[in-house]
Amino acid sequence: MMGTAAAAAAAAAASSCDRDDTRKKQITVVLLLIRTLLLACIIARRVVALIRLVCRVAVLAPARSLLGVAGVVFSAVNARCLWCLDQQALGRSCTGTFCGDLVVAAMANSWRLLVQGLTSLVFLCAHAAGEYVRPPPSPLVLTAHNKPASHPQQVHISIVREKNMRISWVTDDRTAPSVVEYGTSPGKYTASATGDHTTYRYFFYKSGAIHHATIGPLDLSTTYYYRCGKAGDEFTLRTPPARLPVEFVVIGDLGQTEWTASTLSHIGGGGDYDMLLLPGDLSYADTQQPLWDTFGRLVQPLASARPWMVTEGNHEIETLPVVEFAPFVAYNARWRMPHEESGSPSNLYYSFDAAGGAAHVVMLGSYTDYGEGSEQRAWLERDLAGVDRRRTPWLVALLHAPWYNTNEAHQGEGERMRRAMESLLYEARVDVVFAGHVHAYERFTRIYDNEADSRGPMYITIGDGGNREGLALKFIKGHKSAHLSDFREASFGHGRLRIVNETSAVWTWHRNDDQFTTVRDEVWLRSLAAVEPARTVSAVAGGGRPADEL
């Protein structure tokens, strides 16, 4: 018995020893696997780092160098071609021989068309899928700068406060001073103001110095003579009136074509108006930055004489995949508007007063946030709440993409913004809303939420300034808003809102087609300031046709 027990104990001890050995072997294998895995990770990281290094040295560095060389070559060719086009526009010879000029002009124009075509193609692919198909474009009107680099060009003015005006201009010389000298007699400058300048880069393009200087306080309804940067030409401006009447010219989607030139000539350099309002789409540079410069030169005769107050359109965005991510780079640098003075955090929306506060103009941004909780909406609520309609009988709003539109082009593009903001404008009793974007003229009755409502704004689309895309010719016959549309026509032109007194204003639309300015549409408006506040009438249903127009 004793022998059997001892043998069993020995067998158990041997079995336990085997299990220990097996466990040790398993632990050793696991440790080995972990070490192997760690080693593999370290090796993999080293290999990846080595591949990156090889890529950087063998691929990226040459690619960057190649891109750099391409950039320099492109800039040189582009600058030379633009210079040739400038000379051609000025009627000067580039080569000294007729045949040489013909060849050079052909090459320069081919280059311009190629670059414009490529950039436009990329722009359209990036931004305008499903865009309305338009008639063939009109030729561009390219304006040259034939003065020294320090001489101001692209001069335009804008209102800052009631008695202050911002003067903006560009010099090719980036060291030129940002000074404006001014006075009420030609050549006699009794005051001066110093501002600042900015520049920007866009792909291969670097802008000239873009100067902004604020002058004032100025006497109202007064002609001033001024000179920018202590060099170049003298300009003349007239300050807006201190009280009513006041007249606004309104043009949208301007561009720089022969159609644009026609519109500008119909507006006239004589200046029988006080201020110009532009609800977006200015230069149609569409990423080709020198076109911002030619646009500035084209509008200078008018924009240097009367304030141009603008808001942005889709053609000001100018983002491009891979190369340019920031929107509104050129627009914000060149067209600085009084957003800080009106409590707005963005140059893309702001407001200002005219005629001593008798009119308040709200410039909205269709291409920045406008929904519930957005900064623009919060600002708009504050801005409208600050308007006292006893002191300010006229309230006007501008934006780019129309909220009401029966044209085939851009159908529904303003709908999200309308849903987000229409009630604010309605409750504030805004008198009239101007929009652009659609390249035609259309005037609606007073509307609120897709119904005729005599307490709502009159909606007017005036996107027919003359850009290269041409007119939006097709209106939709059976459109759900067709019964609200009082006048519509696909022709180039401009509009004028003349606020006569506290209760009455007249809107006219002037078509370009004729040799002389022709009024094709006219309507009188009565201010909504005296109409009872929205909250007390919100329970009243319906609206009917506006009965309060004169």
Of 115 and 438, nearer to Fe ion (C-beta) is 438
| Polymer length of the chain | 550
Phi/psi region, residue 248 (left: phi>0; alpha: psi -120 to 50; beta: rest), is beta
Catalytic choice (410, 437, 439, 510): 410
Closest approach of Fe ion to the CB of residue 281, in Å: 4
Of 162 and 316, nearer to Fe ion (C-beta) is 316
Residue nearest to Fe ion (CB): 437
Reply yes or no on whether 437 is catalytic: no
| Burial class, 379, CB count within 10 angstroms (exposed 0-12 / middle 13-18 / buried 19+) | buried
Residue appearing with tokens 């067998």:
11
Of 107 and 473, nearer to Fe ion (C-beta) is 473
Beta-carbon neighbour count of residue 290 at 10 Å? 18
Q: Name the DSSP letter for residue 45.
A: H
Q: Is the dihedral of CA 364, 369, 373, 376 positive or negative?
A: negative
Of 116 and 405, nearer to Fe ion (C-beta) is 405
Closest approach of Fe ion to the CB of residue 462, in Å: 12
Q: Name the DSSP letter for residue 475.
A: B
**Angstrom distance (rounded) from CA 225 to CA 119:** 40
Of 178 and 461, nearer to Fe ion (C-beta) is 461
Closest approach of Fe ion to the CB of residue 279, in Å: 9
Closest approach of Fe ion to the CB of residue 440, in Å: 12
Q: Is the previous residue joined to 241 through a cis bond, with omega within 30 degrees of 0?
A: no
Torsion angles phi and psi, residue 236, rounded to 5: -125, 135
SS3 160: strand
Contact footprint for Fe ion (CB under 5 A): 281, 313-314, 437
Report whether 89 contacts 255 (CB < 8 A). Answer: no
Closest approach of Fe ion to the CB of residue 322, in Å: 24
Of 359 and 435, nearer to Fe ion (C-beta) is 435
Of 405 and 445, nearer to Fe ion (C-beta) is 405
Closest approach of Fe ion to the CB of residue 379, in Å: 23
| Burial class, 51, CB count within 10 angstroms (exposed 0-12 / middle 13-18 / buried 19+) | exposed
195-200 CB contacts, 8 Å cutoff, 24+ apart: 195/167, 198/333, 199/174, 199/333, 200/329, 200/330, 200/333
Closest approach of Fe ion to the CB of residue 222, in Å: 36
**Helix, strand, coil percentages for the chain (3-state, nearest 5):** 35, 25, 40
Active site residues: 410
